[in-house]
Structure 1
């Protein structure tokens, strides 16, 4: 699929779900290229920011918001077989995508986002929720965490992993969506995690974002 956005800098992607005041500006400090997913354009404009592009089928893009955005920035994708998050992530080539407005709303939307993270493993994306964050665990990740930091692992398909620095090591566990999960593990300090397939979601507190962003450039991709 041809990319609509190619950037050597991280991208902030704003979706149509809840976005707290100040979140867009804070995300842009970390990921300075702004893209909106369909109705997420309204949150971008409310934050005083004009997105570089708006990508989606535009079924949730209200007329006033659409009229405020230059026509050349509106990237209409008509097909209805994928979500707006999938439409966007599959068309953005960047070192990292920070997703706002994709968690904390409807459960079916959030589950669809998790599905896309696994379906597009070569796109590195971190989804920011009100209290925590989620990403597809890379093949290996080495991150400094404070002792006691919650670390949750959720399998989207059968998968194994190994770890150092977790209170309950995960090696030898056969994770599966309908079997063993890894909810509410805890860091004992520096954590090394190796996922053996691109099927394992990693969830950390939102406060761990700066340390995650420090760690991700050294983590290999799928």
Structure 2
């Protein structure tokens, strides 16, 4: 198998990345439904649907804006608007979805934390999506800088590069099983599971950005790294509490 992996079936080119992206949404949602049936959800079905709608809208806007700021174009035209619509980032989607949920909860006056039930389905969805990113090689901006390290791979341009999508899958697998293991110990604090996921994943992405060939920086940091910092600031009370309990 060569990368980018672009099979043709009956003369029709298959977009593997798009298929896996849809599969990620489908399986992630089915996993969420299965978990909710097994869990006593304090949030009513109507409010949960409102929260999901807020998450979808927030994720859509956040992913597009974050993707745009990775390489912003200051001229506005029909083409740039189309590019903005098609450009997306999982980091912006996660943080935008978080803000969308919080706004929706304010509107419907829901007090209970809603994130824990989404944690494992989100991790599963990201992992499936990253398989598609890896198979697209350099055609998807999840590849790394050139390297002579043992993990380096030819992702389609003849150079050995860091396979960042694979690094992320390995990290998410570790995070998935780690959170599963500690879940029973943190159940008393509703919402902590999701917060730990966000802090861990955004921390990983902050570090991995240093081996991505980014072209746009602000104060030597990429837009994704600035988003990671914003996320940490948002969860600063949780960070302080975790450090206090650890000391």
For the pair shown, which has the larger CA radius of gyration, 1 or 2?
2
Which bin holds the TM-score, normalised by the shorter protein? under 0.3
Tell me which of the two structures has the higher relative contact order, counting C-alpha pairs closer than 8 angstroms and 6 or more residues apart: 2
* Higher share of residues assigned helix: 2
* Higher share of residues assigned strand: 1
TM-score under structure 2 normalisation? 0.21
TM-score under structure 1 normalisation? 0.23
